[in-house]
Amino acid sequence: MLIVQKYGGTSVGSPERIRAVAARVARARRRGDDLVVVVSAMGHTTDELVTLAGRVTGHERPQNAHAREMDMLLTAGERIASALLTMAIREEGLEARSFTGSQAAIITDTRHTAARIREIRGDRVRQALAEGCVAIVAGFQGVSVEKEITTLGRGGSDTSAVALAAALKADRCEIFTDVDGVFTADPRRVPGARVIRRISHPEMLEMAASGAQVMHPRAVDIGARFGVDIRVLSSFIDNDDPERGTLITSSKAGMEETVLTGLASQKGQSKLVLRGMPAGMGPVSEVMRALASADVSVDMVNEASDGDGRIQLQVTVDDGDAEKARGVLRDLAQRLGAGELEERHGLARIAMVGTGMTDRPGVYARAYRALFEAGVEVHGVSTSAISITVLVDGAHENDALRAIHQCFHMGEEAETQTVAER
């Protein structure tokens, strides 16, 4: 069996942790499996390197002025971790060899600091495996079609691992982290949240894109497209049970039959309401176009009547984009003869995710009642086939999560939830 394992920054955050990972790798290897191990930089190395570059250059975001050199700098973090882990595995008495992303021939496009993988050749990794070596690959990095060193964007080691698993047709892809798996909700916010045992790729993608920190959305997307089953589990538990943690899979078998699979939330959302807009598709599409050309990414869009044949247009954006959005909307308001602009900042976006809500009426009604009873006001809603997202005041984030989690009995294993409530 070929297993790709990935270890995050905290899992290799100290010499002791690196030795613990080496011991785990050695146990798996001694069971007879072939292993490719992807590592992140130790602890906060990447953040520290970014800070260092900022101090040297005086730029708050040095990646804007020095994208190429930032990639040279940041890839060093993963290179250090992979060399050290390889030494530790060799000390366990196993053959092991480390590779940079470039040596593993992870070929990317040319976008420094945000490159996308085009192809993985992986010849040297295959060669190492054929020679009975454990192959350790530095995560988060590749080499561009123009032979430049690139990085895949922050959190990109997950992507390296899943892409390698796809390219090498691995039997398993295991993402080791500092939590026990993917939770029904952030356990720091929702007491009683539990580990989800199985979740589909689309559900996980929605969770990751909505603020669940455990996995990078692009890694999940690659898993979905190439049918890679991904297991998320803790490296801090000395237990080799292959069924622990969360399995992200495309197979429907054994999927929990619940309405909601998980909740995720994100702070820092703004809602802007432009009142008295002329009705019709023309003005609205003009607003959307103007926001897009200002590079403002819009989350929710709603229209409501504002009387007198006029409408109010509501858009939500990241707090960080609110100023740009305000500028754009003010300009347009003048040109279109629209009225006031109202704003609300510091909102939280709560995503309720679950394929179980498809074709099931009343999910929104139930959630809404729970929020109402918890005294949480809803400032906006958007839905997809497998999610409902509501916008609430930032101060109500935890209340909202807890109310929904409880109302849908998400803390109970699926089998023990009553059939009516499922």
Binding site for ligand ASP (CB under 6 A): 9, 40-41, 46, 77, 139-140, 154-157
| Residue 331, helix vs strand vs coil | helix
Of 122 and 156, nearer to ligand ASP (C-beta) is 156
Tell me the residue type at 368: Y
Q: CB nearest Mg ion: which residue? A: 155
Residue 8: CB minimum distance to Mg ion, A: 5
Q: Which two tokens stand for residue 412?
A: 């109970």
Tell me the residue type at 317: V
Indicate whether 155 belongs to the interface with Mg ion (CB under 5 A).
Answer: yes
Residue 155: CB minimum distance to Mg ion, A: 5
Query: Per-residue x/- mask for Mg ion, residues 61 to 90, rule CB under 5 A?
Result: ------------------------------
Of 154 and 194, nearer to ligand ASP (C-beta) is 154
Query: CB–CB of 89/26 below 8 Å?
Result: yes
Of 50 and 259, nearer to ligand ASP (C-beta) is 50
CA distance 176 to 158: 10
Q: Which residues contact 401 (CB under 8 A, 6 or more apart)?
A: 185, 186, 189, 190, 263, 265, 350
Which residues in 11-30 contact Mg ion (CB under 5 A)? none
Work out what residue 139 binds among ligand ASP, Mg ion, none; the CB cut-off runs from 5 to 8 Å by kind.
ligand ASP
Query: CB–CB of 186/267 below 8 Å?
Result: no
- State the Rg of the chain over Cα: 24
Residue 301: CB minimum distance to Mg ion, A: 31
Residue 162: CB minimum distance to ligand ASP, A: 12
Element (H, E) at 270: strand 262-278
Work out what residue 140 binds among Mg ion, ligand ASP, none; the CB cut-off runs from 5 to 8 Å by kind.
ligand ASP
Work out what residue 46 binds among ligand ASP, Mg ion, none; the CB cut-off runs from 5 to 8 Å by kind.
ligand ASP
Of 13 and 380, nearer to Mg ion (C-beta) is 13
Of 8 and 354, nearer to ligand ASP (C-beta) is 8
CA distance 107 to 126: 16
Of 75 and 258, nearer to ligand ASP (C-beta) is 75
Work out what residue 62 binds among ligand ASP, Mg ion, none; the CB cut-off runs from 5 to 8 Å by kind.
none
Of 155 and 380, nearer to ligand ASP (C-beta) is 155
The span of 56-64, 115-123, 148-156, 288-296 binding Mg ion (CB under 5 A) equals 148-156
* ∠ CA 130-134-136, rounded to 5°: 120
Q: Which residues contact 257 (CB under 8 A, 6 or more apart)?
A: 356, 414, 422
Element (H, E) at 304: strand 301-305
The span of 8-16, 236-244, 305-313, 386-394 binding Mg ion (CB under 5 A) equals 8-16
Work out what residue 101 binds among ligand ASP, Mg ion, none; the CB cut-off runs from 5 to 8 Å by kind.
none
Residue 153: CB minimum distance to ligand ASP, A: 8
- CB atoms near residue 80 (< 10 Å): 16
Whole-number Cα distances in Å, 214 to 37, 181, 208, 279: 18, 8, 7, 43
CA distance 17 to 25: 12
Q: What is the sign of the dihedral through the CA atoms of 212, 216, 218 and 222?
A: negative
Residues that bind Mg ion (CB under 5 A): 8, 155
